Amino acid sequence: MRRKEKRMGVVFSILSWVLAISMVIALFRIGGATDDLTYDDVFRFADIHGVITDRTGQIIYNGQVSDFKAYGNTIGHGNLMHNTVLYRHAAKLVPGSVNSLTGYRTVEGEPRQMKTTLLSQEDQLHLISQFGDRKGCCFAYNYETGEIYTMITLPHYAPDYENAAFINRCVDSLYTPGSTMKLVATIVAADQKIKLKDLSYTCNGSFQLPDGSKINCPGSHGKLVFDEALGKSCNGFFAYLITQFDVEKAIETLEELGFEVNETEHEKNEMDGLTRPNSSTVFANTKRFDDVWALIGQGQSQVSPVSMAMIAGAVANGGKVARPYLVESVTNPNKNKVTYEAEGDAEKLLSSSTASTVKKNWYSGTREYDYTYYNLGLDETVTYAKTGTSEVGETAENSLLVGVIEEAKTAFYIIVEDSRGSGVSTFTIANELAKLVPRAK
Ligand SMILES: [Zn+2]
């Protein structure tokens, strides 16, 4: 009898322990569920503890960004800008578990370290200085790995800065592409197996469309083959080419490239937690001015700088392109443990045969036929490039440049707003960018 009581006592004591341990585990589970926290909870916590570095390990955020001009609109500032690293990735900086019953709980003495893929502060500021007093942006990334090297935007945000902008033009804005769209039109043509190398056209300054309207060229380019027309950016040649497109097939290609065509809406694109609007255009009729003009890059075409860089990267990379990302890893220094690591992700934007055709045309369009771009100041380290100019209102125009720095596997898109008379050149910005982006080891 007494032995039985004793045994019951042991069983009871084991049960109590099981109960106690279960409660502790449950408490931790509740506490660990950071998904249930509000942004403010997480942010307040990350604000105190998180450290963010550039790609070399230099601290660029430690409670506040080191330099707002270089990183303000990319890393962010509290609740002010939502499409930023800090706002979208704050939860990753929370050290250990947060207990919802007992309040905040630091189980890590040292702050978590988030390593980004961004260039150093010095490099970012150097690029920004190339813009002079102009607005604009430059997005550049490695199309093989997805690492974003820079997404500078002007004007920037800084506390107490009277001209502060709360957006990052690289991810929040859309631009009329001007002739950078001719790269897209070339892809559409190659994708429908139009034999570009057999085409020839004589430009006398304008091309008359079947609806009676005219597509004008800045000058008379004379007799051209396709690659030359791409290099010299002949509107007439492209109008002649676009009128030969199969509309259905063209829409299919444009959609594969990420364009919303004829007001069909797609979901906003996500890029490592940051969202960006989709590029859009119209194309329903090869005989009408608006449609042809849009594929030449004016009128109703609007592009996302990120998307255009991805398209350029896909051309250089056999049609497949890495999805851009900013956050490389997050480390808990207390345990020397990596708590988050970027997963490389890729998508196929074009068929490999289309990519290879366009790559040849683009290479020859950039390099041959008077060497136009290089004579105008582009460095040869920029392997492929296409310029663009788009009119904004009556007097202003934006300068745009899409390109690839092949030895650094880098694709970029640069916009200088209201560039006329500023002395600021997209070529200079691209040249400086080419010096800064890392080469593969
Ligand atoms: Zn022309």
CATH at 378: 3.40.710.10
Look at residue 186 and tell me if it is in a domain: yes
Look at residue 370 and tell me if it is in a domain: yes
Q: 190 alpha carbon to ligand 1 midpoint, in Å?
A: 20
Question: Positive or negative, the Cα torsion across 58, 164, 416, 250?
Answer: positive
pLDDT score of 29: 45
Look at residue 5 and tell me if it is in a domain: no
Q: 265 alpha carbon to ligand 1 midpoint, in Å?
A: 34
Token pair for 4: 């039985």
Q: 313 alpha carbon to ligand 1 midpoint, in Å?
A: 27
Full-model pTM: 0.88
pLDDT higher than threshold 90 for residue 410 = yes
Look at residue 97 and tell me if it is in a domain: no
Maximum Cα–Cα distance across the chain: 114
Write down the residue that tokens 């000058």 correspond to.
219
pLDDT score of 371: 67
> What is the gyration radius of the CA atoms in the chain, in angstroms?
27
pLDDT higher than threshold 70 for residue 44 = no
Q: 236 alpha carbon to ligand 1 midpoint, in Å?
A: 5
Of the listed ranges 174-178, 300-304, 437-441, the least confidently predicted one is 437-441
Q: 377 alpha carbon to ligand 1 midpoint, in Å?
A: 22
Q: Are 105 and 32 in contact (CB under 8 A)?
A: no
Q: 2 alpha carbon to ligand 1 midpoint, in Å?
A: 107
pLDDT score of 345: 92
Question: Using 50, 70 and 90 to split pLDDT, how confident is the model at 93?
Answer: confident
Owning domain of residue 396: 172-326+344-436
Task: Tell me which H or E stretch contains 328.
Answer: strand 327-332
Look at residue 246 and tell me if it is in a domain: yes
Q: 70 alpha carbon to ligand 1 midpoint, in Å?
A: 40
Q: Are 97 and 49 in contact (CB under 8 A)?
A: no
Look at residue 13 and tell me if it is in a domain: no
Look at residue 165 and tell me if it is in a domain: no
CA distance 259 to 348: 14
Average pLDDT over residues 162-167: 95
Q: 216 alpha carbon to ligand 1 midpoint, in Å?
A: 8
Look at residue 432 and tell me if it is in a domain: yes
Residues 373-408: tens digit of each pLDDT:
898 899 999 999 999 999 888 889 999 999 999 999
- How far CA 221 is from CA of 200, 236, 333, 365, 380, in Å, comes to 12, 9, 62, 14, 24
Q: Are 190 and 361 in contact (CB under 8 A)?
A: yes
Q: 307 alpha carbon to ligand 1 midpoint, in Å?
A: 27
pLDDT score of 210: 87
pLDDT score of 35: 45
Q: 295 alpha carbon to ligand 1 midpoint, in Å?
A: 15
Q: 209 alpha carbon to ligand 1 midpoint, in Å?
A: 14
pLDDT score of 31: 43
Question: Using 50, 70 and 90 to split pLDDT, how confident is the model at 222?
Answer: very high
Average pLDDT of the chain to the nearest whole number: 89
Q: 215 alpha carbon to ligand 1 midpoint, in Å?
A: 9
Q: 239 alpha carbon to ligand 1 midpoint, in Å?
A: 10
**In total, how many domains does the chain have?**
1
CA distance 187 to 164: 38
